[in-house]
Structure 1
Amino acid sequence: MEQLTTVDTVHEEGSWLFTVSDRFGDEEEVILVPCEDGVEAWVNRCTHESQRFDTGRGAPIRNGQIVCPRHGSMFDSCSGHCDNGEAANTTLPAVDITVHTDGTVFLTDDDVTFAHEGGIDDDDDPDSTSHISL
């Protein structure tokens, strides 16, 4: 179990980005996002075209939904489900976390290990075709 951050930090900052490695050493970015009184962890990419949500400046979230900066599909931050746009009827891949009573967030997913805070060193900016201004 790897300590990540706190619920308060995620709520204050709007999201929290970290990188994990799978058993083959492949890295994947994960975002912690506010969800009602807690947080949820999702793989940091849209299900439509693998577009990153958080490119190092925080995940775009509006009214409890994570917004894909490329096409504007919106995913519920609590369930990960999308019911609109190019990614409609898909759900973000979840990463298992546990929140202790003191608000500390731990990575508890048996399929990945914590690599580091922040993203995979990739400076690509999205080529936005979204009608939503972020």
Structure 2
Amino acid sequence: MPTGTELTTVSDVRENRSYRFTATDEYGAEEELIVVPCDEEDRPVRAFVNRCTHEAQRFDTGRGVAMRDGQIICPKHGSMFDACSGYCDNGDAADTTLPDVDLVVKDEAIFLTDDEYTFAHEGGIGEGDDDGPSSTSHIGF
């Protein structure tokens, strides 16, 4: 069994479009992280910090990450990030890459193995005070 905290399963991430959790970083600050499906053969999921590189808009506010054709969609301006690499080649976040988080998958189970983060709890920071994203995007969901 891998060293690290067991988070969820690959099947659950695929079914729910993402898995959101809170971790503390190496300085004790809370950070929201997301696990999303990835279609690479050796990497069925990837994890990233839960915010757009453009204006720190959260991708998952408790309803799952909006995705299309293997890309994470920023709900504010519509920039799209590759779910496997985290790279964005369009919109306001073009030419940026999401900060990634180390995971290990073993027998469908997903483990947080990143030395910079310690699992705190499922869900986001300040659960219950979320009104969802403000949006200026022309993309409808």
- TM-score interval (norm. to shorter): over 0.9
3-state SS of paired residue (1:50): coil
Q: Show the counterpart of 1:65.
A: 71
Q: TM-score, normalised by structure 1?
A: 0.96
Q: Provide the alpha-carbon RMSD of the alignment.
A: 0.9
The reply on whether 1:108 has 2:121 as its aligned counterpart is: no
Displacement after TM superposition at 1:124 (Å): 3.9
Q: Show the counterpart of 1:6.
A: 9
Q: Cα–Cα, structure 1 residues 109 and 67, in superposed 2: closer, same or farther, change >3 Å?
A: same
Q: Unaligned regions of 5+ residues in structure 1, if any?
A: none
CA deviation map 1:4-32 (0-9, x unaligned): 01111101111110111012221111110
3-state SS of paired residue (1:109): coil
- Hey, what's the Cα distance between the residues in 2 that align with 1:57 and 1:46? 16
- Hey, what's the Cα distance between the residues in 1 that align with 2:27 and 2:131? 24
- Hey, what's the Cα distance between the residues in 1 that align with 2:27 and 2:69? 37
3-state SS of paired residue (2:101): coil
Q: Show the counterpart of 2:61.
A: 55
Q: Show the counterpart of 2:99.
A: 93
Q: Show the counterpart of 1:131.
A: 138
The reply on whether 1:26 has 2:29 as its aligned counterpart is: yes
Displacement after TM superposition at 1:63 (Å): 1.0
Compare 120-129 and 56-65 and name the one that shifted more: 120-129
Aligned length, in residue pairs: 133
Structure 1 runs (4+) greater than 4 angstroms displaced: none
Q: Percent identity?
A: 65
Q: TM-score, normalised by structure 2?
A: 0.91
